């Protein structure tokens, strides 16, 4: 008996969950399988032309499903929709709205920008993407924007500075203007008596010190204050036990589990070491296990 033919909607779900339109799972990181092949192009073009609302509905519903292997797939597909010749001007704002709705972190948003830039046919990003960038930064409070910059300045070759310029992001408050000016020009107004502004600038400056210092004695107190992760420290300090002991309490359970092989190779998991105690504490922390 011949197998029943899959609908385009079923093929899209297969693409989201098994990374392929065929009946075989493709393992590996997103960049291994997220290529804009002819079969994917034809599938998406047909869905965009005939049932764009259903396409976006499927992507949106997958957002809350923890069984999706790679969330990057969702952003890749949304970038493909914007690239399609079949997409209409009415659908583009809906794509933008979904990107902003499902985005759970700055890195996820930068993933979307990465795929749009890879798929674009000319040097400039589409106007819809520029507007999406503007809305993304407009939604951030001054403190949120400062924290975003403190966590990382760039990702996938795109920086906050790049996107703020491309999106023509404007400040809607004097405090946010302080953050934007620092990101764009490293400009601070030392004469400003606003204590909140000074505190935010202090966070920005300390985050840059953390990225540059090679002295763990300087880094450790900043890590504690900013609740920084290992990716925020200068690379040479990523072999320091003191630095790892400072960042481990700031990491999620999944992040800690992913670092275990590295910590083992560095020799930090020996019996009765401070690092081992911190790992055990994370593994038995009810809140982190539930998260």
Res 1: pLDDT: 41
Dig out the tokens for 185 from the structure: 């020009």
Torsion angle of C-alpha atoms 95, 83, 76, 21, degrees rounded to 10: 110
Q: What is the mean pLDDT of residues 113-124?
A: 83
Q: What pLDDT does 55 receive?
A: 95
Written as six digits, the tokens of 162 are 């790049």
pLDDT tens across 208-243, in order?
999 999 999 999 999 999 999 999 999 999 999 999
β strands within the chain, DSSP E: 154-155, 158-159
Q: Encode pLDDT of 182-217 as tens digits.
A: 999 988 765 556 888 999 999 999 999 999 999 999
The token pair at 180 is 């934007």
Confidence bin at 138 (pLDDT 50/70/90): very high
Token pair in block for residue 141 = 């409070």
Residue 80 CA, chain-centre distance (Å), reads 18
User: CA angle, 261 as apex, 255 and 263 as ends, to 5°?
Assistant: 80
E-assigned strand segments in 179-240:
none
Find where tokens 């310029």 sit. 165
Report the Cα 284 to chain-centroid distance in Å.
Answer: 27
For 80-115, how does the pLDDT look when each residue is reduced to its tens digit (9 = 90+)?
999 888 999 999 999 999 999 999 999 999 999 999
Please, how many CA atoms are within 13 Å of residue 248, restricted to the half-sphere of its CB?
A: 26
Residue 3 has pLDDT above 70, yes or no: no
- Residue 289's pLDDT is what? 84
CB atoms within 10 A of CB 242: 14
Which distant-in-sequence residues (6+ apart) come within 8 Å of 251 by Cβ?
Answer: 229, 230, 259, 282
Read off the pLDDT band of 18 (50, 70, 90): confident
Task: Name, in order, each residue with C-beta under 8 angstroms of 244's C-beta and a sequence gap of 6 or more.
Answer: 230, 238, 263, 266, 268, 275
If you average pLDDT over every residue of the chain, what do you get?
Answer: 90
């Amino acid at each position: 008996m011949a197998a029943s033919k899959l609908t385009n909607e079923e093929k899209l779900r297969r693409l989201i969950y098994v990374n392929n339109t065929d009946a075989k799972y493709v393992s590996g990181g997103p960049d291994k399988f997220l290529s804009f092949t002819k079969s994917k192009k034809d599938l998406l073009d047909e869905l965009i032309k005939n049932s764009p609302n259903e396409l976006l509905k499927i992507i949106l519903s997958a957002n809350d499903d923890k069984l999706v292997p790679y969330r990057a797939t969702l952003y890749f597909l949304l970038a493909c929709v914007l690239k399609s010749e079949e997409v209409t001007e009415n659908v583009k704002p809906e794509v933008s709205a979904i990107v902003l709705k499902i985005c759970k972190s700055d890195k996820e948003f930068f993933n979307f920008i990465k795929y749009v830039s890879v798929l674009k046919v000319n040097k400039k990003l589409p106007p819809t993407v520029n507007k999406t960038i503007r809305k993304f930064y407009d939604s951030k409070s001054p403190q949120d924007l400062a924290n975003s910059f403190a966590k990382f300045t760039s990702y996938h070759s795109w920086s906050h500075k790049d996107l703020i310029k491309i999106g023509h992001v404007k400040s809607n408050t004097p405090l946010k203007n302080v953050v934007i000016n620092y990101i764009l020009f490293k400009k601070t107004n030392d004469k400003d008596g606003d204590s909140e502004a000074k505190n935010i600038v202090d966070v920005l400056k300390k985050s840059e010190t953390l990225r540059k210092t090679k002295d763990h004695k300087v880094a450790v107190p900043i890590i504690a204050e900013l609740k920084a992760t290992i990716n925020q420290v200068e690379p040479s300090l990523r072999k320091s036990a003191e630095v790892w002991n400072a960042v481990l309490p700031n990491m999620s359970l999944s992040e800690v589990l992913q670092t275990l092989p590295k910590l083992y190779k560095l020799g930090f998991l020996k019996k009765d070491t401070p690092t081992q105690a911190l790992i055990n504490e994370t593994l038995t922390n009810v809140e982190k296990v539930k998260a």
